[in-house]
Chains A and B, each alone.
Chain A
Amino acid sequence: MAQNRQSACLPCGKGLCGGKGLLTLKDGAWTNNPLAIQVLGICSALAVTNRLENSLVMGAALIFVCVGSNLFVSLLRKYTPHRIRMIAEVAIIATFVILFDQFLKAFYWDMSKQLGPYVGLIITNCIVMGRAEAFALQNPPVLSIVDGLANGFGYAVILAIIGFFRELLGTGKVMGYTMLDGQWYTPNQLMILAPGAFFALGVIIAIFNWLKGPEVEENK
C-alpha cells in the first residue's frame, strides 16, 4: 500500500507530501471544489466574471494568495497560540493580498482599475480563510502548498468557465475576438450585468449537482 502511494506521488519527487499529494489535489479541485460544491467565496466569483480576462487574473490572484497563506500558516502552525490564530491568519492573508495588489498596480494598472476593490476583498474570501483554518493548521507545509494550489485551481477553473460564457453570451466576443457574429446573434446585455452573474453561477452549481448525482445530498 505504501509502495502504491509512493508511486502515485511520483510527480512531486520523493513523496515529500507523504503520498497524499494527488488525493489532496483531487479533493480540492474536484470532489470538494470550493466554488461549485462548497459554495464558498462566491462574491468575487460573481463580480469579476463579466470578462474572461478579469476572471483569469482573479483566479491567478486567488491561487497566489491561497498557496502563500497556506504555506506560512502551516510553517507557523506550531508557534501560533490557539486563541489568536484567526487574527494571525488574517494578517498573513492580508500580506499576500497586498503583495498581489501592489504588483497589479505597478505592472497592470488598467486591470487593477477594472478589478477595483475585489482584489482587496480576497482577504474576506471564505476559501482562503477556510483552507488556512481547516487544512494548513493541521498539515505540514508541502502538503499545504498542494492543497492551496488545488483549491485555488478549482476556483480559477470555475471562474474561467463562468467568465467565458458570460462574455460570450453578453458581448459575442471572447478576449476581444468576435466569436458569435452580430448578423445572427444579438448579444444579450443582461449576461454582463448583475442578474446574469447570479444566473450563470446558479446554473453552474446545478450542473455540478447533477453530475455528482443525488448521493451528495445524502452525504450532507
Chain B
Amino acid sequence: MNETSAIVILLAAILTNNILLTNFLGICSFIACSGQIGTAVGLGTAVTFVLTMTTMINFAIYHLVLIPLGLDHLTFIIFIAVIAAFVQFVEMFVEKFSPKLYFALGIFLPLITVNCAILGASLFMIIRDYSFLQSVGFGFGAGIGWALAIILMAGLRQKMRYSNIPQPFQGVPIAMIVTCVLAMAFMGFAGMVSIQ
C-alpha cells in the first residue's frame, strides 16, 4: 500500500495525472459534448459526482466481498454492473426529488454508464492499491480534472467556430489537435506532484 496522502492524490489527479489528458479516458463524450460551455458544465458535474460515488462503492465491494471470497477475476463484470446500477439509481432519484436538475442533467446521465473514465478510475484504484481515503481523493480529483478539461475544451471550441479550418481537419481532427495542445499545456504541471 502506498503512503501518499489523499490531498496529494487529489491534486495530482486534477493537474498532473489528468484522467482525460494523460490517461485518455472519457474521450468519446469529451469530443461529442464539448460544443457548448453549458453542456460541458452539466456533464462535468454529473461525471464528478458519479465518479466519486462509484469509486467508493467499488472500493467497498472489492475489498469486502470480492477479495475475501477469492472472486477477483469477476472484478470487471461487477464494477460495470455497479456503475450501471448506480447511474440508473441516481437518475430515478434525481427525477423524483429534483425535476429541475433532472432536466439539466437528464440526457447526460445515461451517457455516463459508457464513459470509460468511470470504469477506468475504479480499475486504477485497484491497480495502484489505494486505501479508502486515497480512493475518495482519486475519484473526486479525477472527476474535477475531467470536468476542467471538458470545460476548457468547450471554451476553445466556441472560439474555433469562427476560424477558417482546412476541410479535411474540420470536426474531430481539429478537436484532437487542440486537445494535443491542451495536453501539452497540462504537461507544464508535471514536476509539481506525481502519483503512480
Please list the residues of chain A having a beta carbon within 8 angstroms of any beta carbon in chain B.
39-44, 46-47, 87, 90-91, 94-95, 97-98, 101-102, 116-117, 120-121, 123-126, 129, 190, 193-199, 201-203, 205-207, 209-210, 214, 217
Contact = CB atoms under 8 A, between A and B. Distances in A.
A117 B22 contact: no
For B22, B24, B170, the residue with the greatest tally of chain A CB atoms inside 10 Å of its CB is: B24
Contacts of B25: 43, 47, 121
A124 B76 CA distance: 10
A121 B119 contact: yes
Contacts of B28: 40-43, 126
A116 B125 CA distance: 12
Given A117-B127, A195-B181, A124 B176 contact: no
Interface in B138-160: none
B66 interface: no
B174 A195 contact: no
A194 B24 contact: yes
B27 interface: yes
Chain A interface, DSSP helix/strand/loop, else mixed? helix
Interface residues of B, number: 43
Interface string B90-128: 000000000000000000000000111011100110010
B57 interface: no
A98 B74 contact: yes
A196 B176 CA distance: 10
Given A87-B84, A90-B80, A199-B176, A129 B24 contact: no
B176 A123 contact: no
Nearest to A129: B114
A205 B177 CA distance: 11
A95 B75 CA distance: 11
Given A117-B127, A201-B176, A209 B187 contact: no
A61 to B, nearest CB: 13
A107 to B, nearest CB: 15
A2 to B, nearest CB: 40
Interface string B1-25: 0000000000000000000011111
Contacts of B181: 195
A199 B176 CA distance: 6
Given A39-B172, A91-B77, A202-B180, A194 B21 contact: yes
